[in-house]
Amino acid sequence: MHRGDLLTDTTTIASQAPRGATLVIYHSAVMAYLSPAQRVLFGRKVAETGAVWLSNEAPGVLPGSAKASRVRSEFVLVRDGRDVLAYTDPHGSWVEWAG
């Protein structure tokens, strides 16, 4: 776990991962604080690292996640900014895998 600015530090921090490791960048309830343009920029930065990106956000924060949620109070776990993997409690107390 590292502290930093996700728009300026992600690439540098990701470059410190051991070679051959599967790098996973995970966050929860962060993207809503960014503008849509900043969300796109962050997605590009993560893609450049080759990491697996897991995002746990409210429905609609990332493209393709608005229709995924079934109830208002649940979050959506999304892989690489597009693939809905699960429905989740915003505070992590439960996960229900999609599909």
Instruction: List 24's β-bridge partners, or say none.
Output: 52
* pLDDT at residue number 98: 87
How far, in Å, CA of 7 to CA of 81, rounded? 15
Predicted local distance difference test score (pLDDT) of residue 68: 61
**How many angstroms from the chain centroid is the CA of residue 17?**
18
Write out residues in the chain with pLDDT < 50, as ranges.
Answer: none
64: left (phi over 0), alpha (psi -120 to 50) or beta: left
Per-residue pLDDT at 62: 83
